Amino acid sequence: MIGKILLILFYFLFPVIIIYAVGKNAIVKRIGTIVICYAAGLLIGNINILPENIYSLQDMITTITIPLAIPLLLFSENIRKWIGMARTTAISLLLGLVSVVVMVFIGDLIFRDILTDSWKISGMLVGVYSGGTPNLAAISEMLKVDEDLYIVTHTTDLIVGAFVLLFLITIGQSFFRLFLKKYKGDEKDETLDYDPAMIQDFESYEGIFEKANIRALLKALGLSALFFAFGGGLSFLAGPNYKMLVAILTITTLGILASLNSKINALPKTFPLGMYFIYVFSIVVASMADLNEIFAHGQSIVILSIFLFILLAVIGSLLLHAILSWIFNIDADHFIITSVALSMSPPFVPVVAAALKNRALVLPGLILGIIGYALGNYLGVLVAFLLK
């Protein structure tokens, strides 16, 4: 019993320590909270120090954290800004989503005979490349993805994504400007202004323990728990295989609708709190993975196939998006910001915008990323069941 209590404390406190370290140490920040949480989870899960019979405890934590995180991530959403989104940004978003879906369909056709659960992998890839880790985690829960398959898929995505990000922030702009037009700051369809406050909400946990913020976050957490309860109750009307699917899609929809309320939308630090629950989920699910099983004899072809599938999805969708951007006369900066916002999530947008020397696209990029969070769950599940 004491062992389980200590394990729960570790799961919920370790991400807090890493979040603090990220704010204080540049090296830790470069590595990233998600990567460190995965590494710590894999370590404690594979050195035989965990208490016996803890699967039900781990499963309970993963089942709770994702439904709580989703509304918190979406409360800062603003559908009204979707409507006011610039024409070029909206077209680039649509082209990006189409590119991801097309390449995932092609990947499934190629690898379905090798990968038994290729339809589940396809759903997760559409989710992660339209909204990032929160969608990947949510879709894995909805589709009941095996923990080992989830870890291999996400670890490979992190590795491939790191190289793609490095390419985009170094020579990406110069390369894509070879055939895409340059960004013009005075384009008539660019109507969104730079908003440092919005970026601060995404990037920083600073001030999260201030009295006013704690009070606001307790309200947000209570509302998120209420949505969880409602979604969970509604899920009992579905079959046993679709309970989590119904629950999470219901919670996602309620989170988007709640963001239309100006008071809920204005609650501070809801996005960082939502990401905290994603970090907890990450360390728990990593500790459930069995590396011996993942790298067992006969699994190498599976791991290689997943790697090639993800490589096709990432590189293929990036190139297809670039070709479509050329056809629809989208500039290189819009194309790059859209690609980053969808596949790597909002926190990476300011980093890439700085590399592009184009801060005017920071806010559009953040909005694209949030739209990805909102749409990713629906799109990922739709693609998965179409391919099943």
Q: Please report, for the chain, the start and end positions of each structural domain, with discontinuous segments joined by +.
A: 2-387
Per-residue pLDDT averaged across 155-160, rounded? Answer: 85
Q: With bands split at pLDDT 50, 70 and 90, how would you rate the model's confidence at 210?
A: confident
Q: With bands split at pLDDT 50, 70 and 90, how would you rate the model's confidence at 240?
A: confident
Per-residue pLDDT averaged across 160-172, rounded? Answer: 86
Q: With bands split at pLDDT 50, 70 and 90, how would you rate the model's confidence at 203?
A: low
What pLDDT is attached to residue 104? 96
Q: With bands split at pLDDT 50, 70 and 90, how would you rate the model's confidence at 32?
A: confident
What pLDDT is attached to residue 139? 92
User: Do residues 41 and 224 make contact, with C-beta atoms less than 8 angstroms apart?
Assistant: no
Write the pLDDT tens digit of every residue in 341-382: 888 767 678 778 878 888 778 778 878 888 888 888 899 999
What pLDDT is attached to residue 353? 81
Cα angle, residue 129 at apex, residues 128 and 130 outer, rounded to 5°? 95
Whether the per-residue pLDDT at 209 is higher than 90: the answer is no
Within 8 A by CB and 6+ apart from 71, the residues are 220, 223, 224, 227, 228, 251, 254, 255, 258, 274
What pLDDT is attached to residue 198? 55
Q: With bands split at pLDDT 50, 70 and 90, how would you rate the model's confidence at 163?
A: confident
* Angstrom distance (rounded) from CA 146 to CA 351: 33
Q: With bands split at pLDDT 50, 70 and 90, how would you rate the model's confidence at 85?
A: low
Whether the per-residue pLDDT at 82 is higher than 70: the answer is no
Write the pLDDT tens digit of every residue in 250-293: 998 999 889 888 899 888 889 889 889 989 988 988 888 777 76
What pLDDT is attached to residue 123? 94
Per-residue pLDDT averaged across 68-96, rounded? Answer: 81
Per-residue pLDDT averaged across 58-68, rounded? Answer: 89
What pLDDT is attached to residue 387? 92
Lowest mean per-residue pLDDT among 11-15, 78-82, 318-322: 78-82
- How many Å is the maximal CA-CA distance in the chain? 64
* Angstrom distance (rounded) from CA 155 to CA 355: 25
Phi-psi region of 144 (alpha: psi -120 to 50; beta: other; left: phi over 0): left
Phi-psi region of 329 (alpha: psi -120 to 50; beta: other; left: phi over 0): left
Cα angle, residue 270 at apex, residues 267 and 276 outer, rounded to 5°? 160
C-alpha closest to that of 23 among 207, 148, 188, 186: 207
Whether the per-residue pLDDT at 159 is higher than 60: the answer is yes
User: Do residues 191 and 360 make contact, with C-beta atoms less than 8 angstroms apart?
Assistant: no
**Structure token pair of residue 351:** 């980093």
What pLDDT is attached to residue 84? 62
C-alpha closest to that of 286 among 156, 134, 148: 148
**Structure token pair of residue 2:** 């004491």
Most confident range (mean pLDDT) of 46-50, 70-74, 185-189 is 70-74
Amino acid letter at 230? F
Q: With bands split at pLDDT 50, 70 and 90, how would you rate the model's confidence at 386?
A: very high
C-alpha closest to that of 280 among 71, 64, 76, 112: 64
Whether the per-residue pLDDT at 192 is higher than 50: the answer is no
Query: Token match 């050329």: residue?
Result: 326
Per cent of the chain over pLDDT 90 is: 31
Q: With bands split at pLDDT 50, 70 and 90, how would you rate the model's confidence at 188?
A: very low
